[in-house]
Amino acid sequence: TARKIEVERMDKRIEVPPAQDELSELALTFNHMLDRLERGFNQQQRFVSDASHELRTPVTVILGYSDLLARWGRSDAKILEEGITSIRSEAEDMQDLIEKLLFLARADQKRQILHKDFVHLDELVDDAVRKMKLVAKEHTVQIAVNEPGIIYADPATMRQMMRIFLENAVKYTPAGGHIAVSSRRLPEKGCMELTFADDGIGIAQEDKDKIFERFYRADSARTKKAGSIGGTGLGLSIASWIAEQHEIEIAVESELDKGTKFILTIPLAEDDESDTSDKEG
């Protein structure tokens, strides 16, 4: 049976002999290994098929506009303009998607290199919010609290992670909404608590666990209501990988039509003289 198992027929399992001996234990172990391999393999296949599916739409649109341009572009200035703008925008979306796919592929292959160092979290927060303010013209983006704290982290991916939460907060909050960022020091827990809160469309209870899955997007009708152009559903899977690499825990509190709050617990990298006595480990 073992010899017959291959990539195309991974659902086969070895029959476990009834006697509880080394042979049955070996069969069990082997079957468990196959379970894990099969799961990983199926995940990979789904990933490839989802990715291809996502790339199909922009390519179709680009081809459509190229045809339009070929036929009318030379004579009709309006079509020319519209065609160029649309092709550019679709190509940008594709580029964005490809960057995200490459990031996840590198992460899966453990080739995504992190350069960790001692960094001031408050500076990273300041920086990320300042940049988001420049682009989110229709929302109020503010820092509520930003207490000092040094963490051991890769600044580039930390920035990327903050941007993912901020972009989502803006994207899933209708124009005129508010986004508040707070970073608090919790020395008794040896960590910083960084929160991104918005008063946007919120996340349904049943979606809460799934939003970190690759390509998962909650109900698109509601998403459209917020006036967004949609996304790929990869942002939070990238964020959760980055969090994992930094031993950061992510929690979500959300209510439909009220808003969403992402709470990140980030380990502090300092020895706080005043409270080392009651710290564990």
Cα 224 → chain centroid? 20
Candidates 199, 231, 264, 266; binder of ligand ATP (CB under 6 A) is 231
| Closer to ligand ATP by Cβ: residue 194 or 268 | 194
C-alpha span between 90 and 55 (Å, rounded): 10
For residue 149, the partner it binds in ligand ATP, Mg ion, none, with Cβ less than 5 to 8 A by kind, is none
| Under 8 Å between Cβ of 167 and 235 | yes
Q: Which pairs with CB-CB distance under 8 Å and at least 24 residues apart come from 125-130?
A: 125/162, 125/181, 125/183, 125/194, 127/159, 128/159, 128/162, 128/163, 128/166, 128/181, 129/166, 129/181
Which span sits near ligand ATP by CB under 6 A: 1-9, 79-87, 231-239, 264-272?
231-239
> Contacts with ligand ATP: how many residues (CB under 6 A)?
22
Q: How many residues bind Mg ion (CB under 5 A)?
A: 3
Which residues, at least 6 apart from 81, have a Cβ–Cβ distance to it below 8 Å?
none
Kindly tell me which residue out of 200, 242, 246, 266 binds ligand ATP, with binding defined by CB under 6 A. 200
Contact call for residues 220 and 269 (beta carbons, < 8 A): no
Beta-bridge mates of residue 259: 255
Indicate the residue among 232 and 265 with the shorter CB distance to ligand ATP: 232
- Of 120 and 258, CB closest to ligand ATP: 258
Site string for ligand ATP, 8-37 (x = CB under 6 A): ------------------------------
Does residue 196 sit in helix, strand or coil?
strand
Applying the rule CB under 5 A, the residues between 159 and 188 that interact with Mg ion are 168
With contacts defined by CB under 6 A, name the span among 1-9, 61-69, 164-172, 185-193 that binds ligand ATP: 164-172
83 binds, among ligand ATP, Mg ion, none (CB under 5 to 8 A by kind): none
* CB 133, CB 141: distance < 8 Å: yes
| CA nearest to 167, candidates 202, 132, 122 | 132
Contact between 240 and ligand ATP per CB under 6 A: no
* Residues 85-96: b if buried by 16+ CB within 10 A, e if exposed: ebbeebeebbee
Q: Which of 234, 243, 264, 268 binds ligand ATP (CB under 6 A)?
A: 234
d(CA 245, CA 239): 10
User: Which among 122-130, 151-159, 201-209, 223-231 is the span making contact with Mg ion, rule CB under 5 A?
Assistant: 223-231
Question: Of these, 112, 146, 195, 232, which contacts ligand ATP (CB under 6 A)?
Answer: 232
By CB under 6 A, name the binding residues for ligand ATP.
168-169, 171-172, 198, 200-203, 211, 216-218, 223, 231-237, 260
Name the site residues for Mg ion (rule: CB under 5 A).
168, 231, 235
